[in-house]
Amino acid sequence: MSCKNGFGGGIWPVLILALSTGIVGLLFVLQSHASSAEFGFPASFQTIPPPIVPITPVEPPVSSPTGPVWIATDLERISPRITGPRDSKPHLRGLLTIPIGRKSVTLVNETIHSWMEAKSGRVMLFAYDDFDWSTQSWYSDERIILVRHLKQMKWWFLKRFVTPLTVEAYDYIWFSDDDAHFTWNPNEYMDLLDKFQVELSQPAHVMTRPCAPSVWDVTHQRDTQHGGGPNGRWVDFVECGPLVIVHRELWKRCVWNFVQEDLSSGYGLDEMWYEACHQPKTAVIDKLPMCHKSTQSARAANREFYDPEREWPIYGQRHPHVRKAAKRTLGTF
């Protein structure tokens, strides 16, 4: 693993947070071009040499990262400093999260550039292999957060790094796979969510090649002559991938807690979060569809432990009282 570098000027402080719970240790290494004074550290901290000594935890507790984790930017970029009531807090519309690897460079770059050009918010990238991203044009942009941990999947990262505190500064959290593709402005999508107060949503699937169809009919794109609405449909089911958008408050009060920290695929989660979270306003957006390229690069890179078929029934086994979604349309808007 390696830390992001290449920031010009200033001093590169390295912060080691050793969090211990019994025999469990956690190492965070943060590298930033900001001065340590911005974090409230004494000036003497700047002279401490940067020891990087991995601590291997044993039997990690729920919600704790396992193994050494290199975070390639400062925490202030993840969630700006918060003081006073929400109206006075630093505010950003969206946080886009994407798992990334060497086989997804082209699609990831397209998505990042689209997001940055629209000035839709920040981007948090989860690198699951050792590909060197430092040559990409966006690499040193202050709106980018890069987390690297080898051989992990999307939901493992999301449980550990997209916490209720992390999302406080954002209205919507975008959970994207690296093979989701869209051509519309992300702000237009969030405008629709604001207008209709949508809490949980996904773009409808384009059903023509080269896009891969969804296995669930309810998430297919529909026009108004075939049951769709001018904007979208109220539903009891949206998929956990390739792209789902969750309102900050729904993530904080329910979805983050419902995500299982020892499962990585998300299979089974999407069948239950509608009922588990007390039927939030859930929608498939027909007006702004997406193309699922279905490259499955993350699955290919982590094939030795990625087993969605095994994980699929586990959510139901752990939460037998939660009814699974019927996967149906409830209305249009």
35 and 131 share one domain: no
Beta strand extents in the chain (DSSP E only): 14-21, 24-31, 69-71, 92-100, 121-127, 144-148, 170-176, 180-181, 200-205, 232-235, 243-247, 282-292, 329-332
| Domains: count for the chain | 2
What pLDDT score does 294 carry?
A: 66
Q: 97 pLDDT exceeds 90?
A: yes
Model confidence pTM above 0.85? no
- The region of weakest confidence among 29-33, 80-84, 208-212 is 29-33
For 82, other C-beta atoms within 10 Å of its C-beta total 13
Size of the chain in residues: 333
**Domain-ending residue, one of 16, 44, 76:** 76
Mean pLDDT (the chain, rounded): 75
What pLDDT score does 176 carry?
A: 95
215-234: pLDDT as tens digits: 889 999 999 888 889 999 99
Backbone φ, ψ for residue 315 (5° rounding)? -60, -45
Query: Cα–Cα distance between 312 and 265 in angstroms, integer?
Result: 8
222 and 325 share one domain: yes
146-180: pLDDT as tens digits: 988 887 878 888 998 999 988 999 999 999 998 89
255 and 291 share one domain: yes
**Domain-ending residue, one of 76, 101, 131:** 76
288-330: pLDDT as tens digits: 999 987 666 665 556 566 677 777 788 889 889 899 999 999 9
Nearest Cα to 129, choosing from 112, 110, 146? 146
135 and 274 share one domain: yes
Query: Cα–Cα distance between 72 and 7 in angstroms, integer?
Result: 11
Q: What is the DSSP letter of 50?
A: -
Q: Taking residues 266-287, what's their average pLDDT?
A: 94
Query: Cα–Cα distance between 297 and 178 in angstroms, integer?
Result: 8
In a domain, 83, yes or no: no
